[in-house]
Amino acid sequence: MISKTRHAIRLDLQIIADMVEPGSRVLDVGCGDGALLDHLATTKQVDGRGMELSMEGVRAAVSQGLSVIQGDADIDLEDYPSNAFDYVILSQTLQATYNPRIVLENLLRIGKRAIVSFPNFGYWKARVHLVLGGRMPVSSTLPHQWYETPNIHLCTIKDFVILSRLLGITVVQGIAVNADGDTRTMSAMGRRANLFAEQAVFLLERD
């Protein structure tokens, strides 16, 4: 599981890393084995912390010398004080939380900025799967069958943008990633991205 090559990281993690200013304080929620934290520490000299639900991930991260705790985004974000970090990152985890709205509010309370990535349920192939195939979508970004998926709150890019507005959150930057790994900056509502992006990465701040 643990990548030994320090600089080759998942595409969405690379996009997130590019959004982080060097030398900043970062909390990575759902940090897995700490690949992004390790990358940020090496390439951007960040003061990084992580939270991860799985003990396997926590052990791997701490064993690499990263500061990571076992914790649950739905429960343990409440503990952190406001404005404790420059960035709070939530990569590919929002859709697996019980209460995405509260998690999102917490991210932007704890961090001056938040970076959130998630699979786009509005992606045209997902729509085709459901509308024409009549079945829940399964793809490389949504690899689980409905009966064993940890993803309980899937959303589209449009859904996410609407929730952000509702919560008084400004989208500083939205990056759409298509199936080939090509990236492009989204428009304000992300209309085109909502259909063509397989996943999305948002840089957010409070209004």
Partner 1 sequence: MAKAKTTSPDIIAHLCVDEPLRLASGAELSPVTVVYQTHGTLNANKSNAVLVCHALTGDQYVVNTHPVTGKPGWWSEVVGPGLIIDTDRFFVICPNVLGACMGTTGPKETNPDTGRPWNLEFPVITIDDMVRLQAKLLDHLGIEQVFCVIGGSMGGMQVLEWAAKYPERVFAAVPIATSYRHSAQNIGFHEVGRQAIMADPDWCEGDYLAQGKIPHKGLSVARMAAHITYMSEASLHRKFGRRLQDRDQVAYSFDADFQVESYLRHQGSTFVERFDANSYLYITRAMDYYDLAEEHGGELANAFRGTPVRYCIISFSSDWLFPTAESREIVHALNAVAANVSFVEIDSDKGHDAFLLDEPEFHEVLTGFLDGAAAHRGLPRRKTAGDGV
Q: Should residue 200 be labelled a site residue for partner 1 when binding is judged by CB under 8 A?
A: no
Q: Should residue 70 be labelled a site residue for partner 1 when binding is judged by CB under 8 A?
A: yes
Report the sign of the C-alpha dihedral through residues 5, 41, 103, 199, in that order.
negative
Using alpha carbons, select from 127, 126, 50, 135 the residue that is nearest to residue 93.
Answer: 50
Q: Should residue 71 be labelled a site residue for partner 1 when binding is judged by CB under 8 A?
A: yes
Q: Should residue 128 be labelled a site residue for partner 1 when binding is judged by CB under 8 A?
A: no
CA 31 from centroid of its chain's CA atoms: 9
Binding map of partner 1 across residues 82-121, x = CB under 8 A, - = no contact:
--xx------------------------------------
User: Residues of 50-82 as b/e, b for ≥16 C-beta within 10 angstroms?
Assistant: bbbbeeebbebbbeeebebeebebbeebeebee
| Span of 57-65, 129-137, 158-166, 173-181 interacting with partner 1 by CB under 8 A | 57-65
Q: How far apart are CA 148 and CA 105, in angstroms?
A: 28
Q: Should residue 22 be labelled a site residue for partner 1 when binding is judged by CB under 8 A?
A: no
Q: Should residue 31 be labelled a site residue for partner 1 when binding is judged by CB under 8 A?
A: no
Can you give the binding site for partner 1, defined by CB under 8 A?
Answer: 47, 49, 55, 58-59, 62-71, 76, 79-81, 84-85
